[in-house]
Every structure is written in structure tokens, then in C-alpha cells.
Amino acid sequence: MTKLESIQAVVDRHAVLGMAIVVAAVDPEWGGGIKYIYATSSPMRSDGSPLDLSPVTQFEIASITKTFTATMYLDRIGGLDGSFKDQVTLPFPESVLNMPIQALSNYTSGFPPDNDSNFGIDARKSLKELCHWFNTKFPPENKPVSNCGVVYSYSNLAFDLLSFAALWCSSVNDDVLSMYNSQLVILLSHLSLTMPNTTLYEASMISSLPLGFSDSGPFPIPAQEDMYDPVSGAIMDFGSGSLVSTAEDMAQWLLWNMGQLGSNPGLALQLQQPNWGLLPYSGVDTVIVSNSWFLGQVPPNLGPRPPNLRASQAGLGFNNGRTHLVRPNLVVSFSQAGQMRTPSVFRSSKFC
């Protein structure tokens, strides 16, 4: 099975309850550049009725890719069929298992739980307690979480945990990148979900989509300027620029670890945005976020550094370097189904 066929197989057997799935894929003969992406073309609601989830903004594409990985994590810790295990099967030490989930999420993503959702439970609960809650109380009657903030709080947490899994892998390996890849392989191997057929979106179509909408119209798409190389092991900031930046960075993490980006993905990935933080603004409300792929610090309560970090003292992870809001009162929302057919805004200081 070729790499492209493998990705197709993942897409074809995966469904997120009520959400679209987008996964970028390339053929090796294209030299690592993204040619097209897959997306759901005929998903259905839980009652069997059809639901059009064709993405219309880059925000949706990045965000639902992020949700895709979050769902893989939920499946990994027990499954989306209601049979959640009362344990974490990724290799976390007790110090991580006992961390409050809000502290864990805040440290690695830089964001509090979205829209004050607090994950649906007391955010002071530990990760171990969260898994117990999954096992005993969530989801009721196997229904998906519909609140946008809750969905993305769990989505953020899933990436946070994957970052820690890479740093505290049970096997000693100096190559953190390979270790991170191996964790994703474990996640992918546990997928057993189904999805209707898929449709192709040319990469050029994706780059022509608006980033999102403000009350004055679509956000412009800036030129691709940032260059970065995840293999170097240096601490780097990238992906700043719009309200979609966090989700875009997560999409890049997913694509890189699925082998879909070359050593310099800035040349290939259509979703990458330059740093808008240095550019003037004129009436555009947006959220500016700067992230890095490499964790330069280990939380003090987690003890000494794991032995498997690079010589640069930076381990591959996902951590928010700095966050600032230009105009924090306006962010773009999209429906539970992941659609944004018309500009839609709501007043909130939280990223959704």
C-alpha cells in the first residue's frame, strides 16, 4: 500500500460525529508538495440525514483537521463507542497523569479552555480523573459533544497530550522527531471508524479560500513568507497571523507527522501564514498567536528533563510561545457542523 493509499484508507474509515474531516495527502512522485486534500463530501447526521460540510474557509480546514487528531486520541484512550478505558495508554509518567487538565492545557497550548467550557468538568481534575470521568459519565448515550468550546478544549488537550507523549516516550530514542512519528503511528493504527465517500480539493482551491470572516468581510490571504525547518531542532516561532493560526499550526504538525511534508514544509503547505504581528492594521479584527514546535522548557513539577531530548535542549512538542490579541472582542465562529456559508461573528475573547 502506497503512502497515498494509506492516507486514503485512514480517511475512508474515519468519521467524527457531526464534524467534517480534512487530511492533506501527496503522492511521493510529487516530491513532497501538497497536491490536494481529502474532505468529506457526503457526511451524515446521527439520524442518517445528509449534511453538507464542504469547507469554505481555511479556518474550517485547519480546525477540523485538528479535531480529526483529537478524535484519534479519544479513540486511543478507549474509543468513541462509549467503552472508554479508565486509563491513559500513551506513556505518561505519574507526574503528568496527576496534573490538572487546565494546567496541562494552558502550559502546552497557551490557551485556557475555549469559551470557559472547562472541558465539561472541573478543570482542576487531573488527567487520570478525566479518564475516569470519560469512563463513567461521558458521553451520555454516546452522543457527541456539541458545544463548540468543549469540542476545541478537548481538541487542544489532545495535542497537548501528544506533545508530552513525545517527550516522555517509554523507549529511549535520541531522535525526538522519530519518536513523535511513532506515537502518531500508534494512534492511526487504532482507528476503526467509518465515513462516507470523500472528495478532492486542489491545493490551489484551498489557498484561494478566505481565512475567515469579520464583520467587514473576508480576511485577506497574505503572501507565504515564513521559512522554517522542523528537523533543525532549534526553537522557532511560526504560523502567526490570523485567528486560524493555532489550528493551522496544529494542521501542520499533523501533516508533518503523517509524512506529508518535506524537510521545509513552508514551501509546500498552503495553510501557512506569515507573521502579521509586525504589520499595520486598518479596521480588521483578528487574533494573533505565535507558536513553536519545540518545547524549550519542561514544567518544574515534572522533574528533570527526559533523557531523549536533542542536544539543543529542545524537544519536539507543541507549545505556545506568546499570545496577544489585537482586538480581543471579535473572533469568527462556525457552526457545530463546521460550516461557515456566510460571515458569522460573535463577541468573545476566547478562541473557538
**pLDDT, tens digit, for every residue of 262-271?**
222 222 222 2
Strand ranges inside 171-243, DSSP E = 198-202, 213-214, 217-218
Predicted local confidence at residue 132, as pLDDT: 61
Predicted local confidence at residue 261, as pLDDT: 30
Residue in the block written with cell 449534511: 51
The residue ranges of the chain whose pLDDT is under 50 are 1-46, 50-90, 108-117, 135, 138-152, 163, 166-209, 211-352
Predicted local confidence at residue 327, as pLDDT: 21
Element (H, E) at 133: helix 127-137
Predicted local confidence at residue 215, as pLDDT: 38
Residue in the block written with cell 463548540: 148
Residue in the block written with cell 507523549: 165
Q: Which domain holds residue 282?
A: 3-347
Whether 107 is covered by a domain: the verdict is yes
* CA 208/CA 270 separation, integer angstroms: 9
Q: How far is CA 332 from the centre of its chain?
A: 17
Whether 171 is covered by a domain: the verdict is yes
Whether 239 is covered by a domain: the verdict is yes
Strand duo 213-214 + 287-295: pairing? unpaired
Whether 352 is covered by a domain: the verdict is no
Predicted local confidence at residue 100, as pLDDT: 74
Closest CA to 162 of 306, 317, 23, 315: 317
Helices (H), 27-124: 58-76, 94-97, 101-109
Whether 210 is covered by a domain: the verdict is yes
Q: Is 96 helix (H, G, I), strand (E, B) or coil?
A: helix
* CA 211/CA 111 separation, integer angstroms: 20
Predicted local confidence at residue 96, as pLDDT: 63
> How many domains, in total, are found in the chain?
1
Q: In angstroms, how far is the first alpha carbon of the chain from the final one?
A: 37
Predicted local confidence at residue 131, as pLDDT: 60
* CA 59/CA 262 separation, integer angstroms: 23
Whether 317 is covered by a domain: the verdict is yes
Whether the CB-CB separation of 309 and 315 falls below 8 Å is answered with: yes
